[in-house]
Amino acid sequence: MTVDFVTPDPSRVLGLSTSHWTSKVDWAKAQANGIQFAIIKAAHGTNVNIRWFKENYQGAKDAGVLVGAYAWLTKPTVMSSAGGQARKFATLLRDYPTDLPGIVDFEWNAYTNRYDPKRNPTASDLWGWVKPFEDATGSKPMVYTAPGYWGEYGSISQIWADYPLWQAEYDPQTINIKPWGKWDFWQFSEKGRGEDYGVPRDGEIACELNYWRGSLDELYAFCGKVPPAPPEPIHVTVEIGADNLFVYPDAKSVTLVTNAGETVRFP
């Protein structure tokens, strides 16, 4: 299988989204290669705590990556109401609290005939999920959707603008979805090089990559958290000329400041 892998914009805050197909990710490797946030599939309908959720949740936490979780909304039935799906997801998040808001995945169904309108959730189904989730958690969830799906099954009601938006759009420029007008998170590609971000060989060759709309400090503020302090420089004395060597643990270079005040950098 040949994949035309994407190269993310290094100036933007990058995230990795996963599902059970991704398998167990090496989040330390993902973080070392620029991943700042993770969005992990936790539920599909009323099936919560799906395979690899716990492992990826804990791995991302241990790596210092901001964590989000999402639940795939399936077409409600008598045995699987939208509210029932939402409440089971909310219960799971009490045991696995996330940094990002809880997320509801509003898109085409996962069945073979994915464009069958009888199988696809509508805006009223989504509202039937959102309100019980808010009641159970006291917080507004984030909505994941694509312009094409929202245009067919969503709603232009202004009420949706009160909810954060995670938009899936693989074109170079995103399409504004009404009523939002802008996205908070953008799933811009499904062609990230999996091995670069710790996805194992038994997972996906290509992975889903996402951008946050602002700076890293703004992302932490969005999550209601304080960014970690940068590491303090380590001061080391060099015997030759008693020069001072300043070593920054996360840097790719070393700065040498001589007694004469000259600064020399070593890559």
Tell me: pLDDT of 252 over 90. no
Q: pTM for this one?
A: 0.85
Give the chain's domain count.
Answer: 2
Q: What is the mean pLDDT of residues 56-68?
A: 98
Q: What is the model's pLDDT at position 255?
A: 58
Assess if residue 63 is contained within a domain.
yes
Same domain, 250 and 202: no
Same domain, 23 and 118: yes
Assess if residue 227 is contained within a domain.
no
Assess if residue 9 is contained within a domain.
no
Task: Summarize pLDDT for 8-44 with one digit per residue, the tens.
Answer: 999 999 999 999 999 999 999 999 999 999 999 999 9
Q: What is the model's pLDDT at position 214?
A: 97
Same domain, 33 and 137: yes
Q: Which residues does residue 189 pair with via DSSP β-bridges, in sequence order?
A: 209
Average pLDDT of the chain is: 88
Q: What is the model's pLDDT at position 242?
A: 46
H helix or E strand, kind and range, residue 168: strand 165-168
Task: Summarize pLDDT for 153-171 with one digit per residue, the tens.
Answer: 999 999 999 999 999 999 8
Same domain, 193 and 257: no
Q: What is the model's pLDDT at position 88?
A: 97
Assess if residue 247 is contained within a domain.
yes
Assign 3-class secondary structure to 175-235: CCCCCCCCCCEEEEEEEEEHHHHCCCCCCCCEEEEEEECCCHHHHHHHCCCCCCCCCCCEE
Same domain, 122 and 190: yes
Assess if residue 4 is contained within a domain.
no
Same domain, 254 and 172: no
Contact 209, 14 (CB under 8 A): yes
3-state secondary structure of 119: coil
Task: Summarize pLDDT for 67-99 with one digit per residue, the tens.
Answer: 999 999 999 986 789 999 999 999 999 999 999
Assess if residue 1 is contained within a domain.
no
Q: Whole domain around residue 257: which residue ranges? A: 234-266
Tell me: pLDDT of 112 over 50. yes
Question: Domain with 26 in it: what CATH number?
Answer: 3.20.20.80
Same domain, 61 and 162: yes
Assess if residue 7 is contained within a domain.
no
Same domain, 189 and 259: no
Tell me: pLDDT of 241 over 70. no
Q: pLDDT exceeding 90 applies to what percent of the chain?
A: 72
